[in-house]
Each structure stands twice: as C-alpha cells, then as structure tokens.
Structure 1
Amino acid sequence: MSQTGHDDADVIVVGAGPGGSTAAYYCASAGLNVLVLEKASFPRDKICGDGLTPRSTREMVAMGLSLRPEDGWIRNSGLRVVGGGHRLELPWPELSSYPSFGLARKRMSLDHTLADHARSAGAKLLERTNVTGPLLDERTGRVIGVTARPVDDDGRRSGDEVTYRAPVVIAADGVSARLPLALGLEKRMDRPMGVAVRTYFKSPRHNDTMMESHLELWDGEPGRSNLMPGYGWIFALGDGTVNVGLGSVSSTAAATKVDYKDLFAKWMANAPAEWEFTPENQIGPVRGAALPMGFNRTPLYTRGLMLVGDSGGMVSPFNGEGIAYAMQAGRAAADAIVQSRARTTDAARERALGTYPRIMKEDLGGFYTLGRYFVKLIEHPQIMRLCTKYGLPRPLVMRFTLKLLSDCYEPHGGDMVDRVISGLSRLAPKA
C-alpha cells in the first residue's frame, strides 16, 4: 500500500450512485484527491421506488443537502399500510436519531444531485467511463487501481483503455458487482434476494403525503381472488406523477420463475379507477432490477477494495430499502480511508481500512440477520395474509411493523419497541 507518487488519486470510486457519491463527498471534504468513474452520463435513470425513509433523509441532512420543495424534493409524513382488510396510516416515529419525515425524488435527478454535491466538495467525476477490471500489484495481488475505457451514451466503446491508479478503490458498481467478482467475491446463495419492477403514472395521487405499502397483491377483488406473491408500493412524487411498483423476496438467491411484469399488470388491472393507473397515463415501460440483501457479498473490504451499496448486498430484507444503507456505507468507508491516510506504515493503514467491515457488521449485521428470519416467514403469501389480517389491528404489532418497515428505531434507549429491536439486533449473529 505504499505510495508511489504515480497515483492518479488518493481514492477511486467506481459508480456514482448514492453510495459512491456519498463516499466521494466525504473523502473530498476531508481533503483527499477523489476520482469517480461512472459508466453512464447524467442525468441517468435507475430502477427504484424513489421513496426515501427517514433513515435515508438523515444521510441527506448529514451531507448538507438542501431539501427544499423548490429544489425538487417532496416530503412525506408516514407510511400507509394496506393489507388483511386493513388500511392503517402510521406517522413516522419521533426519534432523536432520525428526522420525522421522509422524502421522494426520482433517481433520475436524485443521483445527479448527489454526484454534483460530491463534485462541489472537490471530487473529480468522469462520466461515460466504463471500468473493465481491477489493476493488481503483481507482487501482492493488492488492488492498486482500475482499468477503464470511454464509452458513448449507448455504452459502446469510444476510445482506448486507460489505467487509473489509487491506493484504495471503492466498488460502488451496483448489483453487477464486476469489480468484486473479478477478485472472486461471489454472492452468497444463503442470503435473501429481492426483485422489483416499477413504472410511472400520471395520477391525481401525486401529492399524497404518505408512502403507501400494499402487503398483499390480488389478481382480482381482494379476498375473493388469487393472492399473488410479493408486495406493492405507491410513492407520490409531487410533479403530477407517482412511482408504482411491486417487489418479491426470497430467502435464498436462487432464481425464481415468477413473471413480475405479468403480476404487475394483473395488480394494475384491478386498481381503483380514481387512481387513473391506466395505460394512457403510464409513463415509460415497466422495468425491473434485482435487490441484493443482507450483506450477500463479503468481505466488505479486502486487498485495497471496499464494497459499498448493492455491490456488497446492503439492501434491507425488511423493506427493500437500499439507498440509506449505501449512503451509510459510503460515509463509513470514507471515514476509514481518511483515517488510514494519517497512518505512517502500510500495516497501520491496513488496520484502519479494516475497521470499515467491522463497523458495518456491528451496525447492521444483527439487524440484517433478523431480516433474514423475517423473509423466511413472509415469503409465502398465505403466511403474509395471516400476519396482516390478525397482526396489523394490534397496536403493539403495528408499532413493530412501522419501525421494521421504515428501518427506523432508536438504537440506544427509546421506547419498549426500540429496545426490543435493538436488543434482538445485538443478540442476533452478525455473520
């Protein structure tokens, strides 16, 4: 890890999604020379629900982002849960650790905003730069940079391959995880894997002040038709449109044969007419993406490479939320890198970098383990049906539901529900 004087940056970040841009922002704010390589050009789209829980909002606030409505943000006040014949409106909890509001913003503009924020802190962003693999030290096998090539807007090669060098590389390259895979870091088949599809509709619901979650999906009238696998969401974006999608989760990474677009079409065919979720109001196709969950690729740091966000499988098994954890990981990774720069020997720098996976597992490992148990319980639609029908009306169960589905609980102190979740997270294995 010794410095050669020929590095192009102090740290290279591969991918300018929320995790990569957050890491770049914090590293650049600490005075490091940061190079961000992004294969697309902004603005660019990503498959996402576009809804941000208070946990995500906390990360936005910590970065000093302006969250005013005139800057493109819409606030939401809580979660509406629909299922088991119930329709409950649950305000976001009042906690000291998180704000009591969530946000919504299309990934098309959210990611662009975060990347620009990293640039404003001093990070250098190269768009249309497709990273092709890690650059390894021939003697130690350590990652000392990456190879990349310029591409056009369609992803076609448009120039010669280039080598970029840095003593640390952050892989924030999404679910494809090409850099980790090049080092032999395969996904764990014993971890949950989700799939989500979504599209946009013009709808009078665009100003809804609550995020809406449907815990049951029916192919006809609820209770009198077939219960389909998965859960649905409706997130208002305040610009005349809503993000509507559904997801399904399996307790293992084995591929499923579910036709999610067909499932989505059946759900939409029975949507209330007043929502106006009709083909003529649909904006863009139904698109899907995988959701790697529960640290499904480890180790999170090895040989000069850090995994952040989807590349490390950081999506929550409880609700499919990935942005908050990608940003949390970006912040933690940046802190470890900044600390390593103050060390005077290779061994000391390596010890500092090694704090990153320990911190992430300490903070989230037990919680993700609880999430794996949760997925094993609810991946069967009939079990989910019983849980929603008989559990949701109970106030205590409802409070647990809100805090688990929002991933927002007081880690130290709080009410009885917070203490139970925190206690179980500490006791659960952090593997």
Structure 2
Amino acid sequence: MTTPQRTDVLVVGAGPAGSSAAAWAARLGADVILTDAAVFPRDKTCGDGLTPRAIHELEKLGLTDWVRAHTVNQGLRAHGFGQKLYLDWPGGHLPSWGSAIARTELDDYLRTTAIKAGATCIDGARAVDVRMEGGRVAAVVFAQGSRGGERFEIQCERLVVADGVRSPLGKLLGREWHRDTVYGVAGRAYVSSGMSDDPWISSHLELRDEGGKVLSGYGWIFPLGTGEVNIGAGTLATAKRPAEVAIKPLMRLYFDQVRDEFQLEGDLRAEASALLPMGGAVSNVAGPNWALIGDAAACVNPLNGEGIDYGLETGRWIAELMTEQPHSDLAIVWPAVLREHYGESFSIARRLAGLVTVPRLLPALGPVGMRSDLLMTLALRWMGNLVTDEDRDRSARVWRWAGRKSLARDARPPFS
C-alpha cells in the first residue's frame, strides 16, 4: 500500500488514547491516519484493569458486547492490615461493573475499531521529527521499521500525540515532565491461576518489602478469565522521596506471598515495568494545531495508576474539538479542557498520593481505614475517580470541594 502523504488528523500512537481519537475523528467525518512505532498485536506494560469509568467510554464506542464476552468483575477485594473487604463498584452515573482484558488484545481491537470507522493505519512507523511552518506542525517525519529505515513524512492539518508515558514526539514539541509531584513505578506479569474467573479484582494495600517495611504502594491481582491473572506491584515516589526499591524483585516477592491464596501455578511470564508520570504533571501539552492526550499528557490517576479510562476520554474529547472547532487554537483551548475535567480531581489525588510517600504515615492510617467499610467504599470511589459531573450525592460533593481547595493551593496546577 502506498503511504498517504497528507491527512486532516494525524494520530501518533495507537494505544487506547490514540485509537479512541482516530475512531471518533473518523466517525465525525475527518480524514484520519493512525500510526504506531510497533507492529500489532503488541504488548503494553499495564495492569489490564478496566474500571467503570473505562467501561463507560467503551460503551460509547459501541463495544459493550465485546467487553462482556470477557471477564466481568463486580468490585474490589481489598486486603491489608489484618482485614479483607469486599467493595462493590459504586455505580452512580457510571456502570456498576468492570473488566480486565490483556492489552495485547484490547489495544488491537481498539485499533481495529478505528480502522472500521474509516481511519488509515500504519504500523512500524516511528515518529522521529516534525516540520514546522509558522509555529504550526506542518508534517511529521517517520522512520519505517525498528532500525530506523526509510524515512517519509505525512502532512497534517492537526496532530494528536498519543505516544505513551515517555512521549518522544511530545518531547520534540516541548513537553516537560515535572517530578516534584507524585509519580509511579510499577511492574506486572502474567501467571496461571485457579481463580482466573474470580468476580473480584484484588488489591493488597499492605505491600511490604523483604525487610517487612510497609511501602507506599500496593499489589494487585486482576483475573482475566483466560486461565491467567495479571499480577503486579507498584510504588509511589516524588523527587524528594524517590522510590528506593527494585520493582521486579518486589513483584516476585509479592507473587511468593500470595501464591497459595490465589492458586497461582507455574512461573511468572512477560514481566515488564514502567515509570508513570501522573496527575497532569507535564507542561506544554498543546500547540496551535497539536495536542497531547492520554499517558503522553500524564493523564494517569495518581491514586491507582489507571490511565486507560483517561486515554479513552481524552481521545474522544480531542476528536470532537478538532472536528467541531477546526480553527480553534489548541494551545489555549486544550489545556483548559484538561483542567476543566481533571484539574480538581488530579490536584487532590496527587496531593493525597504524595502524603502516602511520607514514611510511617501509611502504617499508621492504613489499619484505621481498613476497619471501616464506609471509609474504604469512599476511598474506592475517590481513588478510582468514579465521580462524574452528573453526580450530586454527598460523596461527590465532598470530592469536588476538596479538589477545588487543593487546586487553589497548587504552585503548579495540573497541565501547567
């Protein structure tokens, strides 16, 4: 196939954010090209969990039946400090169920959804440069193949950057990650389990290292319904309090600790780790005709590390903005959109997550929280940001009030 030379909307990165943007932009009538440096299907370091917020976006894409053909979970089983709590998904204006689908399959299906919507997809094309004209991105230069073979460029009217947490194309455009706010270090693997069809996802909030010290993070086990579970561990850190732990050995230690309880069999496979900018801790997220979305814009929840839901949401929003307001200055409009939707929740979430990194705070407060179903139910909703603009209950009002107070105190608000 001859590589197209120009398009209305060029999307770089075909994960959930990029594929969502491409699918929605194509459905709205734009000419769309979706590129990725990898050849699909490909893996992605992730916990694979889909909270009700992510399910809500997948429903909007028309993928409810496909998701329900996989495992369905009803909430979180929280372990820690001598307690075990079963917490249903809170519902509200969001679905009351979740799922877990390996990213190898999920991302490939979302990319196929974009193709069916009319997007043209190019695999194995790594974005290596941009050509600017009058302060705008006129074209993106790509290298074909993993070894940087033949180069070509694609001209575009508008550019969507969805190339993940490291965002090499974002860096070329001036993206800067600020590590003074909380960030995550996480690892995951797959392993066979007799509880692969468990209707609960599990989170161990009392994550300890080899010396028995409580860490500022958690371990998880997400049943996939395929005979395997996704198992992982993550910790939180800041520039002042960096993560002083080797994440893969920690993950194997956690695996040994839960092996019998969760009927884990055999060895870990596909071990991988990642560094996660969180809570909008990046600046320069947009220019006149380009915008960063999803992980590239640090749209990752500081309290649970989830990014799939935000990727899907920001993909839809940028597609609607670019096609319905094609002449808007994204350098002004896009950061405002992100702050409107995420500013308050990201601000309070990263402030709370930063507190968790304070030594001895989690061991002191963890047992208190785990003794209360009410507190943990509230924590599940707030940690997962399972609060929509339509929710008017007391829990939602408190969360938004706390977010406003936190945002007013931020020296560097999200996305600035």
* Category of TM-score, reference length = shorter chain: over 0.9
Q: 1:24 to 1:217 in 2, by over 3 A?
A: same
Q: 1:33, 1:123 within 8 Å by CA — same for their partners in 2?
A: yes
Residue number in structure 2 paired with 1:212: 202
Structure 2 residue identity aligned to 1:273: D
Q: 1:149-298 to 2 correspondence within 5 Å?
A: 149-151=143-145, 155-157=146-148, 159-219=149-209, 225-252=212-239, 256-278=243-265, 280-282=266-268, 284-298=269-283
- 1:311-363 CA-partner distances (Å, limit 9, x unpaired): 1111010110101011111111111101223xxxxxxx134774322121111
Structure 1 residue identity aligned to 2:395: V
CA distance in 2, matches of 1:246, 1:360: 28
- 1:22-76 CA-partner distances (Å, limit 9, x unpaired): 00011000110000111111110000001110000001001111434674x2111
User: Displacement of 1:91 after TM fit?
Assistant: 0.3
CA distance in 2, matches of 1:118, 1:353: 26
Q: 1:230, 1:381 within 8 Å by CA — same for their partners in 2?
A: no
CA distance in 1, matches of 2:236, 2:311: 19
User: 3-state DSSP class of the match of 1:64?
Assistant: coil
User: 3-state DSSP class of the match of 2:275?
Assistant: strand
Deviates more, 1:112-121 or 1:413-422: 413-422
Q: 2:181, 2:354 within 8 Å by CA — same for their partners in 1?
A: no
User: Displacement of 1:229 after TM fit?
Assistant: 4.3
Q: 1:8 aligns with which of 3, 6, 9?
A: 6
User: Displacement of 1:176 after TM fit?
Assistant: 1.8
Residue number in structure 2 paired with 1:393: 371
Deviates more, 1:284-293 or 1:394-403: 394-403
- 1:200-255 CA-partner distances (Å, limit 9, x unpaired): 110111011011111111357xxx94434421000000010000000111134985
Q: 1:65 to 1:107 in 2, by over 3 A?
A: same
Structure 1 residue identity aligned to 2:295: D
- Residue 295 of structure 2 corresponds to residue 310 of structure 1: yes
Q: 1:237, 1:243 within 8 Å by CA — same for their partners in 2?
A: yes
Q: 2:135 aligns with which of 137, 141, 145?
A: 141
Deviates more, 1:251-260 or 1:193-202: 251-260
User: Displacement of 1:309 after TM fit?
Assistant: 1.0
Q: 1:365 aligns with which of 318, 322, 343?
A: 343
User: 3-state DSSP class of the match of 1:417?
Assistant: helix
CA distance in 1, matches of 2:354, 2:77: 24
Q: 1:412, 1:422 within 8 Å by CA — same for their partners in 2?
A: no
Structure 2 residue identity aligned to 1:313: A
CA distance in 2, matches of 1:352, 1:316: 23
Structure 1 residue identity aligned to 2:307: G
Structure 2 residue identity aligned to 1:230: G
CA distance in 2, matches of 1:107, 1:33: 26
Structure 2 residue identity aligned to 1:20: G
In percent, how many aligned pairs have the same letter?
A: 33
Q: 2:197, 2:225 within 8 Å by CA — same for their partners in 1?
A: yes
Structure 1 residue identity aligned to 2:23: Y
CA distance in 2, matches of 1:412, 1:124: 36
CA distance in 2, matches of 1:404, 1:163: 44
CA distance in 2, matches of 1:416, 1:298: 33
Q: 1:251, 1:372 within 8 Å by CA — same for their partners in 2?
A: no
User: Displacement of 1:275 after TM fit?
Assistant: 2.5
Q: 2:92, 2:391 within 8 Å by CA — same for their partners in 1?
A: no
- 1:115-148 CA-partner distances (Å, limit 9, x unpaired): 00001000000011111122211xx232112000
User: 3-state DSSP class of the match of 2:264?
Assistant: coil
User: Displacement of 1:426 after TM fit?
Assistant: 3.5
User: 3-state DSSP class of the match of 1:238?
Assistant: coil
Q: 1:130 to 1:419 in 2, by over 3 A?
A: same
Residue number in structure 1 paired with 2:399: 421
The alignment's TM-score, normalised by the length of structure 1, stands at 0.89
CA distance in 2, matches of 1:150, 1:35: 15
Residue number in structure 2 paired with 1:37: 35
- 1:134-179 CA-partner distances (Å, limit 9, x unpaired): 2211xx232112000210xxx223x421010001111101112111
Q: Which runs of 5+ in 1 are unaligned?
A: 1-5, 342-348
CA distance in 2, matches of 1:134, 1:235: 39
Q: 1:50, 1:106 within 8 Å by CA — same for their partners in 2?
A: yes
Q: 1:295, 1:314 within 8 Å by CA — same for their partners in 2?
A: yes
CA distance in 1, matches of 2:365, 2:257: 23
User: Displacement of 1:415 after TM fit?
Assistant: 2.4
CA distance in 1, matches of 2:60, 2:381: 21
Residue number in structure 1 paired with 2:410: none
Q: 1:164 to 1:350 in 2, by over 3 A?
A: same
Q: 1:232, 1:247 within 8 Å by CA — same for their partners in 2?
A: yes
Q: 1:188, 1:253 within 8 Å by CA — same for their partners in 2?
A: no
Residue number in structure 2 paired with 1:57: 55
How many residues are aligned here?
406
Q: 1:76, 1:210 within 8 Å by CA — same for their partners in 2?
A: yes
Q: 1:417 to 1:51 in 2, by over 3 A?
A: same
Q: Which runs of 5+ in 2 are unaligned?
A: 408-412
User: 3-state DSSP class of the match of 1:218?
Assistant: coil
Residue number in structure 2 paired with 1:326: 311
